[in-house]
């Protein structure tokens, strides 16, 4: 039973690395991303926060919104 729980928590941690950690980094919360290695709950918090102005995700969202406006108004 201990092995099962160990593997389960390990795979959950790996899933957090590839999802919440990457979202937190793309949103511009670098400190939360680094400290999240020790406290993974910070990755989840960073994934739910809105992107910082100037971050990669914010720029991508603005570009996509501008493209949609051009498509709908043309």
Min mean pLDDT across 15-19, 25-29, 63-67 is at 15-19
Query: Model confidence at 18, in pLDDT bands (50, 70, 90)?
Result: confident
- Per-residue CA distances from 2 to 5, 9, 14, 46, 54 (Å): 5, 11, 18, 31, 45
Average pLDDT, integer, range 30-45? 88
Tell me which residue range forms the domain holding 46: 2-73
Average pLDDT, integer, range 39-66? 90
Query: Model confidence at 68, in pLDDT bands (50, 70, 90)?
Result: very high
- Distant-in-sequence, close-in-space partners of 58: CB < 8 Å, separation ≥ 6: 27, 28, 51, 52
> What is the number of domains present in the chain?
1
Average pLDDT, integer, range 2-20? 88
């Amino acid at each position: 039973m201990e092995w099962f729980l160990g593997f389960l928590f390990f795979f959950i941690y790996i899933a957090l690395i590839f999802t919440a950690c990457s979202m937190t980094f793309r949103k511009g919360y670098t400190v939360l991303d680094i400290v999240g290695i020790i406290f993974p709950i910070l990755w989840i918090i960073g994934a739910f926060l809105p992107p910082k102005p100037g971050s990669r995700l914010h720029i991508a969202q603005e570009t996509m919104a501008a493209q949609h406006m051009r498509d709908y108004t043309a």
